[in-house]
């Protein structure tokens, strides 16, 4: 196994350990690649933590009152340094934003990617309307002093009638959204612990493959979540030329199982506002190494 694969595997194992024993992971450094990003999606060091368990160091806490379906809910995120509990404001821009918030319903049927704004020292807020009731897992991603932190927040209940949804088949390697047909091509053997290369193709209604423009500094944003919510990763396409049609990314999965991959992108010459993107969703089955 190469040094790069060992480094990536350590990052994923830290996420898995965090989910399994519910204690903060240790600082893990990822290897640098040519260009701006590491394979995991960010350059530099990363820390994966459970927000409510942080006793020392940087912390991000979700402050939210009662949430209900179809009602605008303010989500506040308090960034502090513990145990002093002092406000932290010197966040760094990562992919054009100072904070990225990713949320999914616990059945992985709802997804959102939003960006709070600073409203007071150490306090960030964004208003969000949940389209469905249920329990939501939320992660807050920030960068501070060259290190990217991802904090898993406590589950947030959203009141309302939970509508049962049809079972999603695994694997699911195609999606159609906003008149575009999107396909995900995994490697022939998709196995845990290895570096797996994926290809994404976007085709318009006529079947012509089209390129992508930049959305938040990347041709493709992707979020990978295991079906039991124990694994989370936020990554990006590894090619960096506007208009590229053959979009690709690589991903290491820490263990076998079913994973959902959420991708966000902007096809060339679409009439979307600067902060809008198309969301395509896929399922993959990761097998044990032979």
Q: pLDDT per residue over 37-93, tens digit each? A: 323 344 457 788 899 999 999 999 999 999 999 999 999 999 999 999 999 999 999
Do 44-159 and 174-286 fold alike per CATH?
yes
11 three-state secondary structure: helix
Please check the confidence at residue 34 and state whether its pLDDT lies above 90.
Answer: no
Domain boundaries of the chain, sorted by first residue: 44-159, 174-286
Q: pLDDT per residue over 160-184, tens digit each? A: 999 888 889 999 999 999 999 999 9
Mean pLDDT for the chain overall: 86
Average pLDDT rounded to a whole number, residues 251-264? 96
Burial group, residue 207, by CB count within 10 angstroms (0-12, 13-18, 19+): exposed
Average pLDDT rounded to a whole number, residues 113-124? 97
16 three-state secondary structure: helix
**pLDDT confidence of residue 44:** 54
Q: If pLDDT is split at 50, 70 and 90, which confidence band does 271 have?
A: confident
Please check the confidence at residue 32 and state whether its pLDDT lies above 70.
Answer: no
Compute the distance between CA of residue 154 and CA of residue 147 in angstroms, rounded to an integer: 22
CATH 2.60.40.1930 is right for the domain spanning 44-159: yes
Average pLDDT rounded to a whole number, residues 190-209? 97
CATH code of the region 174-286: 2.60.40.1940
Please check the confidence at residue 257 and state whether its pLDDT lies above 80.
Answer: yes
Please check the confidence at residue 13 and state whether its pLDDT lies above 80.
Answer: no
**pLDDT confidence of residue 48:** 82
Compute the distance between CA of residue 244 and CA of residue 9 in angstroms, rounded to an integer: 29
Compute the distance between CA of residue 2 and CA of residue 193 in angstroms, rounded to an integer: 12
């Amino acid at each position: 196994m190469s040094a790069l694969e060992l480094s990536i595997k350590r990052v994923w194992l830290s996420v898995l350990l965090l989910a399994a024993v519910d204690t903060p992971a240790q600082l893990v450094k990822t290897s640098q690649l040519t260009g701006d990003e590491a394979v995991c999606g960010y350059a530099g060091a990363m820390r994966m933590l459970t927000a409510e368990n942080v006793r020392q160091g940087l912390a991000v806490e979700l402050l939210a009152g009662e949430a209900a379906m179809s009602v605008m809910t303010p989500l506040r995120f308090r960034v502090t340094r513990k145990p002093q509990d002092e406000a932290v404001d010197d966040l760094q821009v990562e992919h054009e934003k100072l904070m990225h918030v990713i949320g999914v319903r616990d059945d992985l049927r709802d997804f959102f990617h939003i960006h709070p704004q600073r409203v007071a020292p150490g306090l960030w807020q964004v208003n969000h309307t949940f389209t469905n009731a249920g329990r939501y897992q939320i992660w807050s991603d920030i960068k501070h002093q060259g290190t990217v932190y991802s904090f898993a927040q406590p589950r947030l209940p959203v009141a309302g009638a939970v509508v049962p949804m049809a079972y999603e088949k695994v694997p699911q390697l195609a999606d159609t959204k906003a008149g575009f047909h999107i396909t995900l091509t995994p490697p022939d053997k998709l196995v845990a612990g290895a570096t797996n290369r994926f290809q994404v193709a976007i085709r318009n209604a006529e079947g012509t493959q089209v390129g992508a423009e930049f959305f938040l500094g990347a041709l493709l944003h992707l979020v990978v979540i295991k079906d039991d919510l124990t694994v989370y990763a936020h990554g990006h396409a590894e090619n960096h030329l506007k208009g590229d049609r053959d979009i690709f990314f690589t991903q290491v999965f820490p263990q076998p199982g079913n994973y959902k991959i959420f991708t966000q992108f902007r096809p060339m010459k679409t009439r979307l506002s600067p902060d809008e993107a198309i969301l395509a969703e896929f399922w993959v089955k990761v097998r044990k190494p032979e």
